[in-house]
Amino acid sequence: MARGFVTAEEVAKRAGVSRSAVSRTFTPGASVSQAVRRKVLKAARELGYRVNRLAQGLNNDRSNLIGVVGANLSTPFHAKQLDLLSIGLLRRGLQCLLLNAADARKDIAPLIELLFEFRAQAIIVLSGDPPESIVDQCIANGVRLILINQKIDRTDTSMVLSDDSRGADLAALRLIEARCKKVAVISSGSQTPAQVRRTTAFKQKMATAGVEVVAWSGGTTSYESGYQAGCELLVDEAIDGAFCVTDLLALGFLDAARTEMHRRVPADLSVVGFDDIPQAGWKSYELTTVAQSFSALTERVLEALEADEMETRLQVVPVAMVERKTARR
């Protein structure tokens, strides 16, 4: 057998029919007789014929490709999200063209431009915010743009995001319930919009409740940063509560508190996280945290993808407190 793929032409020749017949056989709803269909399918099977989707896409200008751009994909949060998303896309007959932006936030602009070249039907941004000009190009080219946990001030873009401020409020209320007198709020140095929203909402709620808040931020959104935060903050013995805007930070913080700074949790210190990644439920942590609904998030994203018109631009997904063992009752 010659190198390369079999074309519809060759199948047609072998089956003794026209190329049109082959095309019709593989096009649902087209008009072909049973006899011809059978001959074509037989020949196709023998030759190992596969429709060429590139040619298909070129023709009817539907590539079936959905661009997914993100960064830090090994982070439990993003990994979980990508996992569900890629399954959902496949289930709906869409293909997932994944572009990983290494780390820098500003890398995503060229990646989106690359997706234009592949005529992606839609682009899903997992993290990082696209510059204004890119958004313009998307609508100019008729490419749907969907941002996850990212809010920009435009009405022509779909955004799906968890209710960060509500979640931060829940966290605040929980720490107040734990009778904390002085609490820390920990975020990473990358200052993603989601983290900023959580931080400010938390501060505000605590301010109205008259609880003292110290803010810490630094490093990447990682276990290590949380650990570092714990080591630096907990030299202050007055701190008896902490809200980590990300579970990963919270787990690092917890370990620092227990191992390095000798705090008993939740007796001496109450800790609340955000995300509810799988590790938060592990026995060594049992972190009390604000859960994002991964499934609801991806469900909304897929809906936004299929909606004929972008009737609802902004989808806010509710969050829920999951009670475990790191906050005092």
Partner DNA sequence: CAAAAAAATGCACACGTGCTCAATGCTTTA
Partner DNA sequence: TAAAGCATTGAGCACGTGTGCATTTTTTTG
The interface with its own copies within residues 63-82 (CB under 8 A) comprises 63, 65, 68, 72-76, 79-80, 82
Per CB under 8 A, 87 contacts its own copies: yes
230 binds, among its own copies, DNA, none (CB under 5 to 8 A by kind): none
Residue with tokens 């631009």: 313
Per CB under 8 A, 231 contacts its own copies: no
Q: Which of 31, 264, 267, 283 binds its own copies (CB under 8 A)?
A: 283
Per CB under 8 A, 173 contacts its own copies: no
Nearer to DNA, 93 or 210 (CB): 93
The nearest distance, CB 35 to DNA, in angstroms, is 6
The interface with its own copies within residues 127-156 (CB under 8 A) comprises 137, 140-142
Residue 90 tokens read as 């496949």
Per CB under 8 A, 310 contacts its own copies: no
The nearest distance, CB 228 to its own copies, in angstroms, is 12
Residue 288, amino acid: T
**How do strand 320-322 and strand 288-291 relate by DSSP bridges?**
antiparallel
Per CB under 8 A, 307 contacts its own copies: no
Separation between Cα atoms, residue 32 and residue 38, nearest integer Å? 10
Q: Which residues bind DNA (CB under 7 A)?
A: 4-5, 7-9, 17-21, 23-24, 26-27, 30-36, 49-52, 55-56, 58-61
Within 10 angstroms of residue 196's Cβ, the number of other Cβ atoms is: 14
Per CB under 8 A, 50 contacts its own copies: yes
Strands ordered across the beta sheet of 320-322: 212-217, 182-187, 241-244, 270-275, 288-291, 320-322
135 binds, among its own copies, DNA, none (CB under 5 to 8 A by kind): none
- Residue 142 makes CB contacts below 8 A (sequence gap 6+) with none
Outline where the chain has alpha helix (H).
Answer: 8-15, 19-25, 34-47, 53-60, 76-91, 108-117, 132-141, 164-177, 193-209, 223-233, 247-255, 294-306
Nearer to its own copies, 140 or 235 (CB): 140
Stretch (H or E) spanning 65: strand 65-70
Helix, strand or coil for residue 8?
Answer: helix
Contact present, 152 and 159 (Cβ < 8 Å): yes
Q: Which of 16, 20, 42, 90 binds its own copies (CB under 8 A)?
A: 90
23 binds, among its own copies, DNA, none (CB under 5 to 8 A by kind): DNA
259 binds, among DNA, its own copies, none (CB under 5 to 8 A by kind): its own copies
